[in-house]
Structure 1
Amino acid sequence: MKITFEKATLNDLVAIKEIYDYYITKTTATFHTHPISFEELREMIPFYDKKYPSFMVKADEYTAGYCYLAPFKKRQAYNRSAEATVYLKPDFCGKGIGFKTVTFLEETAKKIGFKVLLGTITGTNENSIRLFAKCGFEKCAHFKQVGQKFDEILDVVVYQKILE
């Protein structure tokens, strides 16, 4: 399977929303509890941002998911760090695409000049935890009982990779 990455545009919003709505309604991977509007999605994903790019993940020309780099925090002192986000359609999970996507985001982050890459993950999301660990990220934070979804109290863990 050939994996490629294309710059995400506003034309991709419908596909992105479909993927994200799945994770909102069926999983605890995101802490949104109800589908969000296209406007909220546009605010969340950095379309057309050179420092924080977003991409569609393609597998043999099919849309497999999307990924992006985002500010870790919106204060200037954090400008050396970025947060990596990856969402794949369920049918494309477990096929090595996540590994290639995180690796691609890491290479992109280095070219931009980021020194630290972070992944924020629900504590029960073992697949994402394994993925980031396999990509060389180390656990650096654990926030206990910070969220609740589907009547489940949830932790958040943060994994980081120093890029220099």
Structure 2
Amino acid sequence: MSVNIKVATLEDAQDILNIYAPYVQTTNITFEYDEPTLQEMTNRIKNTLERYPYLVAMVDQKVVGYAYASPFASRAAYQWGSELSIYLDAHYHGRAIGQKLYQSMLALLKAMHIQHVYACITHPNIKSEKFHETFDFTYIGCFHHAGFKFNQWHDVIWMEKTIGDEENVQPVIPFPSLSREQIESCLGLCYDK
């Protein structure tokens, strides 16, 4: 199986929505109640790419997963932190596609001079928690009854990973300002030929 990681385009919005919709409809992994419209998903991709990476995983020219980064918080002092999100087509779990998406994502964020990355995970979600542990994310806390979906309360946990050199903090480079060579190098880490 050949997996190709690429930067998402607006034309990928329908494929991304097809992956995301079942998570909204049938799980507490996302706290959205209603699946976004195609236009909403297109706007989310566009808005993310103005500052952060948004990646898709392709198998045989089909989008089978995606990951994106977003601000950890809005104040200026938080700019060196980024929250990560990842979703895979249910038929492609257990094939190391998530690992390839995260390898590329972490490499890109490091090139942008991001220092810390965070994951907010509905708890319990053993699969996601173990996945993040394989990338050396550590548990930092639980918000009890943080979300109410499907007529019950759900906890969320936060996990974090340091990817930068805290002794050498440099200005954050917005994703669109990375060179093509930098981006291709980061994506190339995960290209199976």
Fold similarity call, TM over 0.5:
yes
> Does the aligned pair in 1 maintain the 2:55–2:105 contact within 8 Å?
no
- Unaligned segments of structure 2, at least 5 residues: 165-193
Q: How does 1:41-120 map to 2 (within 5 A)?
A: 41-45=41-45, 46-49=47-50, 51-120=51-120
Residue 131 of structure 1 corresponds to 131
- Secondary structure of residue in 2 paired with 1:41: helix
For residues 71-115 of structure 1, the C-alpha deviation after alignment (integer angstroms, 9 at most, x for no partner) is: 111221111011111111000111111122222211111011100
Does residue 154 of structure 1 match 2:154?
Answer: yes
Question: Which region of structure 1 is more displaced relative to structure 2, 101-110 or 80-89?
Answer: 101-110
What is the CA-CA distance between 1:47 and the residue it aligns to?
A: 4.4
Residue 27 of structure 1 corresponds to 27
What is the CA-CA distance between 1:43 and the residue it aligns to?
A: 4.3
Question: Which region of structure 1 is more displaced relative to structure 2, 148-157 or 131-140?
Answer: 148-157
- Secondary structure of residue in 2 paired with 1:160: strand
What is the CA-CA distance between 1:30 and the residue it aligns to?
A: 0.2
TM-score normalised to structure 1 length: 0.92
For residues 34-62 of structure 1, the C-alpha deviation after alignment (integer angstroms, 9 at most, x for no partner) is: 1122343244444432x301111112432
The CA distance in 1 between the partners of 2:139 and 2:38, in whole Å, is 33
What is the CA-CA distance between 1:147 and the residue it aligns to?
A: 0.8
The CA distance in 1 between the partners of 2:23 and 2:110, in whole Å, is 28
- Relative to structure 1, the CA distance from residue 75 to residue 43 in structure 2 (aligned partners, 3 Å threshold; closer, same or farther) is farther
- Secondary structure of residue in 2 paired with 1:114: coil
> Does the aligned pair in 2 maintain the 1:122–1:155 contact within 8 Å?
yes
> Does the aligned pair in 1 maintain the 2:16–2:63 contact within 8 Å?
no
What is the CA-CA distance between 1:68 and the residue it aligns to?
A: 0.8
Runs of 4+ in 1 over 6 A off after TM superposition: none
The CA distance in 2 between the partners of 1:140 and 1:47, in whole Å, is 26
Question: Which region of structure 1 is more displaced relative to structure 2, 98-107 or 84-93?
Answer: 98-107
Question: Which region of structure 1 is more displaced relative to structure 2, 38-47 or 82-91?
Answer: 38-47
> Does the aligned pair in 1 maintain the 2:48–2:70 contact within 8 Å?
no
TM-score normalised to structure 2 length: 0.79
- Unaligned segments of structure 1, at least 5 residues: none
Q: Number of residues paired by the alignment?
A: 163
Larger relative contact order, structure 1 or 2 (CA cutoff 8 Å, min sep 6): 2
> Does the aligned pair in 1 maintain the 2:140–2:159 contact within 8 Å?
yes
The CA distance in 2 between the partners of 1:126 and 1:85, in whole Å, is 16
The CA distance in 2 between the partners of 1:116 and 1:102, in whole Å, is 14
The CA distance in 1 between the partners of 2:49 and 2:142, in whole Å, is 32
Question: Which region of structure 1 is more displaced relative to structure 2, 32-41 or 77-86?
Answer: 32-41
Greater radius of gyration (CA):
2
